Chains A and B, each alone.
Chain A
Amino acid sequence: MVDSNTVLFGQTLIYTFYALAIILLMAWFGYRVTTHGPSKVKPAFFYTFVGFLILLGVSIHMVTLHTIPWKPMDMERADIKADKVFDISVQNHKFQLPAEKMMIKTNDKVLFNVTSGDLTYGFGLFRNDNTMVFQMQVLPGHNNDILWQFDRPGVYSIRSTEYSGPDGVFMVEKDVVEVTD
């Protein structure tokens, strides 16, 4: 399965390339618009550009649907049976975990079911180098669940990814999720 780091690396490449291209394009335009030369813009060029934008807008989501594995899994999670379920609650800026360490086997589908007893929080899983595996919002009065499949061993920390007041800044549970073969 594609890792979230792989997706982010791909995004970094694509966006960096785009950003440099558009900066160069604007620099070129800024220079050329001050010089003599043909000035007519054909309507066909405009309509082609409109078509390109429509194609791009639609295709982005189609591409990610077929390349990012957690996207279809998240949309269909109600119909997928989890191999393991962890019920976690949050209250007074503190996570209540079902065990000191949550053990997971690689390739198991795991459901994290998180409920809040007071405020809106976030629930995110992070690697030891602080990069994010995934996150979701945790709203009081609602079920907040995420289904995830870990394809490699690792140790992860939980962190609240939503602001819940200054007291919630340090809501970090270090190394509480372990994935083994």
Chain B
Amino acid sequence: MSYINTLMNGEQGLFKHTSLTPLQKITLRFVVVGLLYYGLVVIEGMIMRMYAVSPIEAVTTNQYFAILTAHPLVGIFGSTYLIVFGAFLFLVPFLMNKPLWSIKMANWTFWCIAIGTFIFWAAGFISHYAPLYTLYWPLPADFTQFSVVGGTFFILGIAIVMVGTALFVINIFKTILYTPNGWKKQPASALLGSALGYSGFKNLFSKKKNRQEHLVSLPVAAIARGTVDVALNAAIILFTGVLILVYMVGALLGFDLKETAVDALLYKNWFWWGLDLIADGLVLIFVAGTWYLLATLITGKKLFMENWARAALLIELIVSWTVWSHHLMSDQAQPGWLKVVSGEMVTAFELITQGLAFFITLATLWSARPLKMSNPLKFLLGGLLGFALAVPAGIMQADLGLNRILHNTQWIIGPHVHVAILIGLSMTLYSAIYFLLPILTNGAKLYSQKLTNIHFWAHLIGGIGMGAFMGMAGLHGMLRRTLYINGEFMPYMVLAAISGALLLIAFLAFLYNVIMTVGINGLLGIFKAPAIKTEDLIPKA
């Protein structure tokens, strides 16, 4: 097969977009656009890495901070949300062996998140609206520094993403609970109890003979529990967005609303409560659930200590609601008991819950020795390593003594955040993508194993390297969210930029491999209307 033929039609012409069911198509759309947004995030990240070495003339300071504002938001919503939501909208019906409740609603979720992300990114890019993702009050309403029109579109974009998110939440829970046409009536309340972990928790304290059967599988339970945090987070972000919009509309109409009407500390508490539901809630729960799913799929074995795994997920859900204060340990007006109980003690529980998930996944894999080192397995091990590195780094900074000298340094954003997201989360997602690729494409064959190996090693070394060098700079006093123009931390920043370049190489290798696997025609075909009208998840054999 010629190169051009493979480029246009994919490896051996095996991928036929006309064979896809509507659910396969919508899932692939989520993943493809999520990966494109990931590419944008990598490019933005690379610009900032280069800027940290030496300021780039073509990028003004205001533009730099607009990039810094958009970068994590595009990463979370445009990339991670799209990939994760797409995968879960396929996996929940797949694992429950029933149709998705609403394909139409899944399509709305896709368009809301894809378009909303583009709107807030473009608003920031054009107007340089740059209050950062933290939106510390009253910065988002400081119109002496930022354009009110640009800000309005920015917040509007975020609000559209949240609407799409709310539709995802409805679709997931309806899919778990509803009774499809022609089915026996489903026990909705028992399903909900199982999905939220109530039955699993009860089983821990019941005699063996009295233990209830789990009505939903563990990965579905993890998705359901993480989705609770998704819903709460969307509500908080929407509420905050509306508040900021009120000030923006007031400014547009010529009214200067008093910024002091909103208490900065109270605002910071509720915003971090909501925002932390992503970082310390749904990410950890979704990731643990995905580890369990991948471990059981890769091994074909039952999960090790399943009731403990279910109980840990329930505890993580409660931990995620009470953990936010570790972001306010340097706020002296924050009550001391909240810093100790929520900031230190509850946060330490994440070491336990994530440690359990880590152990249970490894033990499940171990139980199936010898395993073939497949692509899903190696990326899964990478994902496990990422969280094993990033969670203790976070626990360290969630200490009142250490936080005093670590808060807002590169330590936070390097060894903790970027290692968690790039290595822990992304490699887990890549593991799922490599596993699901043949299922979602009806048997497409990966173009090049060599490119997959480059993807794996360049991503792993680049991600850990970047986190490590940022962390070393942080331990030497380098702050995040600012600029150093006199080369104060040059050696670390050069090494971090080289590591960042490895991440870019990894992504390009992966992207090229995917394009050559499904072909340009196949890639474009994903966005055409489905040729098959069916509620089936995958075509009947």
- Which of the 9-residue segments B167-175, B381-389, B430-438, B499-507 touches chain A? B381-389
Residues 1-40 of chain A: 1 if any B CB is under 8 Å from the residue's CB, otherwise 0? Answer: 0001001100110010011001100100110111111111
Q: Decide if B399 is an interface residue (CB 8 Å cutoff).
A: yes
Residues 123-166 of chain A: 1 if any B CB is under 8 Å from the residue's CB, otherwise 0? Answer: 01011011111111101111111100000000000010111111
By beta carbon, the residue of chain B nearest A116 is: B264
Contact (Cβ within 8 A) B381 A11? no
Using A39-B368, A61-B345, A165-B139 as known contacts, say yes or no to A130 and B477 having CB atoms under 8 A apart.
yes
Q: Decide if B138 is an interface residue (CB 8 Å cutoff).
A: yes
Q: Decide if B373 is an interface residue (CB 8 Å cutoff).
A: yes
Interface residue ranges of B332-349 to A (CB < 8 Å)? 332-333, 336, 340, 344-345, 348-349
Contact (Cβ within 8 A) A130 B351? no
Using A53-B355, A162-B481 as known contacts, say yes or no to A169 and B61 having CB atoms under 8 A apart.
yes
Closest Cβ of chain A to B341, distance in Å, is 11
CB-defined contacts of A19 to chain B, threshold 8 Å: 389, 468
Contact (Cβ within 8 A) A53 B356? yes
Contact (Cβ within 8 A) B482 A137? no
Contact (Cβ within 8 A) B482 A169? yes
- Which of the 9-residue segments A42-50, A83-91, A94-102, A173-181 touches chain B? A42-50
Q: Decide if B367 is an interface residue (CB 8 Å cutoff).
A: yes
Q: Could you tell me the distance between the alpha carbons of A34 and B328 in the complex, rounded to whole angstroms?
A: 45
Q: Decide if B378 is an interface residue (CB 8 Å cutoff).
A: yes
CB-defined contacts of B264 to chain A, threshold 8 Å: 120, 139-142
Residues 131-173 of chain B: 1 if any A CB is under 8 Å from the residue's CB, otherwise 0? Answer: 1101011110010011000000000000000000000000000
Contact (Cβ within 8 A) A166 B62? yes
Using A53-B352, A60-B348, A130-B478 as known contacts, say yes or no to A142 and B333 having CB atoms under 8 A apart.
yes
Closest Cβ of chain B to A9, distance in Å, is 8
Q: Decide if B396 is an interface residue (CB 8 Å cutoff).
A: yes
Q: Could you tell me the distance between the alpha carbons of A26 and B87 in the complex, rounded to whole angstroms?
A: 27
Using A26-B381, A167-B145 as known contacts, say yes or no to A61 and B137 having CB atoms under 8 A apart.
no
Most buried by A among B333, B360, B378: B333
CB-defined contacts of B400 to chain A, threshold 8 Å: 61, 64, 71, 74-75
Q: Could you tell me the distance between the alpha carbons of A118 and B260 in the complex, rounded to whole angstroms?
A: 9
Contact (Cβ within 8 A) A159 B401? no
Contact (Cβ within 8 A) B475 A12? yes
Using A140-B138, A165-B146 as known contacts, say yes or no to A64 and B402 having CB atoms under 8 A apart.
yes
Q: Decide if B225 is an interface residue (CB 8 Å cutoff).
A: no
Interface residue ranges of B434-477 to A (CB < 8 Å)? 464, 468, 471-472, 475-477
**Knowing that A132-B409, A135-B330 are A-B contacts, what are 18 other residue pairs whose CB atoms are under 8 Å apart, sorted by A's residue number?**
A15-B471, A34-B373, A37-B369, A39-B367, A46-B360, A57-B351, A60-B399, A61-B344, A61-B348, A70-B401, A71-B400, A119-B142, A132-B477, A135-B407, A139-B268, A140-B264, A163-B482, A165-B65
User: Can you list 29 A-B pairs, Cβ within 8 angstroms, ordered by A?
Assistant: A4-B404, A15-B392, A19-B389, A23-B464, A30-B381, A35-B369, A38-B369, A39-B368, A41-B304, A41-B366, A46-B363, A49-B355, A49-B359, A61-B345, A64-B401, A71-B399, A75-B340, A126-B477, A129-B476, A130-B477, A136-B330, A137-B328, A137-B331, A144-B331, A144-B333, A163-B481, A166-B62, A166-B65, A169-B483
**Residues in B lying within 8 Å of A, measured CB to CB:** 61-62, 64-65, 130-132, 134, 136-139, 142, 145-146, 260, 263-265, 268, 304-305, 308, 328, 330-333, 336, 340, 344-345, 348-349, 351-352, 355-356, 359-360, 362-363, 365-373, 377-378, 381, 384-385, 388-389, 392-393, 395-396, 399-402, 404-405, 407-409, 415, 464, 468, 471-472, 475-479, 481-483, 488-489
